[in-house]
Amino acid sequence: MSVGQEIYALAEQLFPICRSITGDGVRRTLDILSEHVNLERHEVPTGTQVFDWTVPKEWNIRSARIRGPDGQTVVDFVDSNLHVVNYSTPFKGTLTLEELKPHIHTLPDQPQRIPYRTCYYAPTWGFCMAHDHLTRLPDGLYRVDIDTELKDGSLTYGEYLHRGQTDREFLLSAHICHPSLANDNCSGLALLALLARSLKAKHTRNSYHFLFAPGTIGSIAWLSRNEDRTHLIDHGLVLSCVGDAASPAYKRSRRGDAFIDRAMAHVLGREAGAKLMDFSPYGYDERQYCSPGFNLPVGMFQRSVHGTFPEYHTSADNLDFISPEHLEDSFRILTDVIDIVEENWTPLNLFPKGEPQLGKRGLYAAVGGQKSSGVTSMALLWVLNLADGQHSLLSMAERSNLPFKELAAAAILLSEYGLLTAAL
């Protein structure tokens, strides 16, 4: 099974679960993810102050349905967990169709799709359905039964730290609060879990911090509990919508020129149709990590940009919308970025006056003028020319427009032949 197929299979397993910003759906999701990576789970009690926010009551749902005038079920949570407005308060009662309609959410411009709606911080109740379905409902009395519970409980998040040779961290974060939406964000959760698993057996220079937390309130809670160690974060990415067919996209950190911004630009610069976007304070949890009190070097990686594709926050964001092929491509992009973070260094040419004679050292024979060796003569020449102790390998890749991997291989080869050393 390819890594893309593995990621898809995990996303498929996560898809049916009704998740929210709190509750047992999050815990069940963390249980599944923990089968792939050893997550440490945290519970933040209801009422806990986290900066300017307060952890809300925990929400769980058992059932929800509407029965029509003929007693037949019109809408049932069992059929799709998008049918109920997420965080709906309990309700039982009989209403006329006109009384019921203000509590029904549809998409008139996408009449066959069910929207995804929430009411986290404004207590109410509601249902979502296809607009075509709503227009066919007859007048009469409707029986509404929403069996939910809002109680003092906790907010749950999970994290995993892959320890490297240093305590400098790369933060990788995905929101765990969305219910049955495959791209947003079963794809991000599944990819991140298997990326963490792939690092377990590797010796890395940096430490890698994986976070699975509810959107907004979860990342804010995590920041409030880890404020004293955020200074360790040198790089960061938020993942969402990484499984569909769109070209990859990256939103820069608030800093705009952080190492992660440059590394992502270099990798995506070699991807057809890739999009690079400046930071904006609208999106996912990157806006919490990049809030002015932290200003962390955290960007966002996705494929289809949230809020811009017709399947976004609808029942069309299903398992048919994502594919193993595109999940694997997203996985490869992230591993390429991690390779840059791990392998970047600043070389110094030990023979800087004129071009060192490569032929007498057998370097041309080692290269053979072919890319099959992983090194080209142009890569050797670029590294030698820019190895003045001021240019890192990433800087060289940006200047030369050659792949980072090629330059990294050239630098290793030149070091082995005694032409380079690491700059102090």
Give the pLDDT confidence of 31-58 residue by residue, as tens digits.
Answer: 999 999 999 999 999 999 999 999 999 9
Mean pLDDT, residues 158-180: 98
- Res 359: pLDDT: 85
- Res 360: pLDDT: 87
368: left (phi over 0), alpha (psi -120 to 50) or beta: left
Q: Is 178 annotated as a binding residue?
A: yes
The fraction of the chain above a pLDDT of 90, given in percent, is 94
On the CB side of 349, CA atoms within 13 Å amount to 19
Do 387 and 306 lie in one domain? The reply is no
Do 52 and 64 lie in one domain? The reply is no
- Res 364: pLDDT: 73
Q: Is 313 annotated as a binding residue?
A: yes
Do 127 and 206 lie in one domain? The reply is no
The fraction of the chain above a pLDDT of 70, given in percent, is 98
Do 100 and 176 lie in one domain? The reply is no
Give the model confidence (pLDDT) of 144-153 as tens digits: 999 999 999 9
pLDDT(266) > 70: yes
pLDDT(221) > 50: yes
Do 36 and 177 lie in one domain? The reply is yes
Do 217 and 354 lie in one domain? The reply is no
Mean pLDDT, residues 7-13: 98
Of the residues 323, 342, 361, which one is the last residue of a structural domain? 342
Residue 184 and residue 177: Cα distance in Å, rounded? 10
- Res 300: pLDDT: 98
- Res 387: pLDDT: 97
Do 320 and 184 lie in one domain? The reply is yes
- Res 365: pLDDT: 67
Of the residues 325, 342, 359, which one is the last residue of a structural domain? 342
Mean pLDDT, residues 296-322: 97
Do 392 and 362 lie in one domain? The reply is yes
From residue 198, alpha-carbon distances to 7, 54, 162, 234 in Å are 12, 36, 10, 21
pLDDT(240) > 80: yes
Mean pLDDT, residues 393-419: 96
Give the model confidence (pLDDT) of 363-402 as tens digits: 876 665 444 456 888 999 999 999 999 999 999 999 999 9
Q: Where are the alpha helices (DSSP H) in 318-392?
A: 324-343, 363-367, 377-386
- Res 48: pLDDT: 98
- Residue 119, burial from CB neighbour count under 10 angstroms (0-12, 13-18, 19+): middle
Number of structural domains (the chain) is 3
Look over the chain and give the mean of its residue pLDDT values, rounded to a whole number.
Answer: 96
Do 301 and 244 lie in one domain? The reply is yes
Expressed as residue numbers, the domain containing 409 is 346-422
CATH number of the domain enclosing 267: 3.40.630.10
Of the residues 99, 129, 151, which one is the last residue of a structural domain? 151
CATH number of the domain enclosing 82: 3.50.30.90
Do 279 and 229 lie in one domain? The reply is yes
Among 166-180, 339-353, 366-380, name the one with the lowest average pLDDT. Answer: 366-380
Do 48 and 161 lie in one domain? The reply is yes
CATH number of the domain enclosing 388: 1.10.10.10
Do 262 and 174 lie in one domain? The reply is yes
